Amino acid sequence: MRDLVRVIGSLRKRKQKHIGVIVDGPNILRKEISVDLLEIKRKLSAYGRIRYAKVILDKHAPSKLVEAVNNAGFEAIISQGKVEVEFTIESMDIIYDSEIDIITLVTRSAGFLPLIYKAKHFGKEVYVIGAEPGFSIALRNAADKVIMLHGQNNSGIK
């Protein structure tokens, strides 16, 4: 009987989708865009439980930015090479994780379009979060859900 209760409990918990979030730091964490990482987490929590929350930064990222990323509950990953390569590697880890249902790419760059196709091939839902200027139309059209950021604490979902 205890086993049955435990199985039912785990099934209830699993109904909630698991989310992996990867943020393209240099592309999205810019003064002119004013992205609030906590707001991203709040918006995504409506769709499930965040299991991965990572921000990819370049090696020149100021320590204050790294601290702010960590304070928002994201893991700061400092890329010693190209940020795009590290972003792709971290995204592929999420795509191959069978426990993750939704991958969220926080970027404006169309260069990550192949990641969306690969994630969908593996049965993942793909959310894209971005902001103007320069938010790729191709990314928006390929995503299952688009969350448009309009500046700090003023986000919208499309």
| DSSP three-state, residue 82 | coil
Provide CATH code, domain 16-157: 3.40.50.1010
pLDDT at 156: 42
72-105 pLDDT, tens digit per residue, is 999 999 999 999 999 999 999 999 999 999 999 9
State the pTM of this model: 0.84
Domain layout of the chain by residue ranges: 16-157
pLDDT at 150: 72
pLDDT at 14: 57
CA within 13 Å, CB half, 112:
33
pLDDT at 157: 39
Low-confidence ranges of the chain (pLDDT < 50): 152-158
